[in-house]
Amino acid sequence: GAVVSQHPSRVICKSGTSVKIECRSLDFQATTMFWYRQFPKQSLMLMATSNEGSKATYEQGVEKDKFLINHASLTLSTLTVTSAHPEDSSFYICSARGAGFGNTIYFGEGSWLTVV
Amino acid sequence: GQQVMQIPQYQHVQEGEDFTTYCNSSTTLSNIQWYKQRPGGHPVFLIQLVKSGEVKKQKRLTFQFGEAKKNSSLHITATQTTDVGTYFCAGGGWDTDKLIFGTGTRLQVFP
């Protein structure tokens, strides 16, 4: 089956620094990737949709200058949290949908970000 | 904006009892998907429903999509401890490939 890999799975960074999270589709080409954040015991909130080779589309209320998304290839999308603050601490999850898989979306394992 | 609500928020059941979670969207959906997330894990795709009134079964799990394509349900027969987790529905819109996740139902099964 399709596999989506996220890295790192856990990261701790200091307040004010930036951290990059990678999302890779391992056995299929992902034309569209989605980034979510999830606070403990809450639902997944869609942050942005990224399409290969074009700018990401951000959801209302998500700061595009703070959460930089790059989908430079059909197998890789990155989320960079810039100037991180403790309130950015969360579980970030990517998902990917490939052209050959219809509408089925596969999720990465998620990345726990802790900003201290 | 579009909202997808689930009830109940949380349910305890004794092993062997049945469980149902209900999903309601504020707008008509093109499709509905269901995911299971174990504690500390990531969402895992369970199923997708597309047709109005569609019913699909996976062993002890029965999924239903409402006639108006605004609601859905997941029913688990004779729960097992392995069913523990949070079940999310996620609705797909007509003019977008985004999924909007429901609020989730956390299931706890006691042996």
> What does each C-alpha distance from A74 to A34, A42, A102, B23 come to in angstroms?
13, 30, 16, 33
With contact defined as beta carbons under 8 Å apart, do B51 and B65 qualify? yes
d(CA A7, CA B70): 36
Local confidence band at A40 (pLDDT 50, 70, 90 cut-offs): confident
Task: Give me the residue label for tokens 């895992």.
Answer: B44
DSSP chain B: ---EEEE-SEEEEETT--EEEEEEESS--SEEEEEEE-TTS--EEEEEE-STT-EEEETTEEEEE-TTSSEEEEEESS--GGG-EEEEEEEE-SS---EEE---EEEEEE-
With contact defined as beta carbons under 8 Å apart, do A10 and A116 qualify? no
Local confidence band at B49 (pLDDT 50, 70, 90 cut-offs): very high
Tokens of B62: 């029965």
Q: Which residues of B touch A60 (CB under 8 A)?
A: 1
Local confidence band at A111 (pLDDT 50, 70, 90 cut-offs): very high
Residue to mutate among B42, B97, B106, B108, with most A CBs inside 10 A, is B42
How close does chain B come to A104, measured CA to CA in Å?
Answer: 8
pLDDT in tens, B23-45: 999 999 999 999 999 988 889 98
Local confidence band at A103 (pLDDT 50, 70, 90 cut-offs): low
A46–B104 CB contact, under 8 Å = no
pLDDT of residue A23: 96
pLDDT in tens, B1-22: 778 999 999 999 999 999 999 9
B42–A109 CB contact, under 8 Å = yes
With contact defined as beta carbons under 8 Å apart, do A107 and A35 qualify? no
Tokens of A63: 């700061």
d(CA B81, CA B106): 13
pLDDT in tens, B64-106: 999 999 999 999 999 999 999 999 999 987 767 788 999 999 9
Tokens of B101: 């996740």
* DSSP state, residue A9: S
CA angle A28, A101, B102 (to 5 degrees): 110
- Which of A45, A46, A107 is nearest residue B43 as measured by Cβ atoms? A107
Local confidence band at A99 (pLDDT 50, 70, 90 cut-offs): low
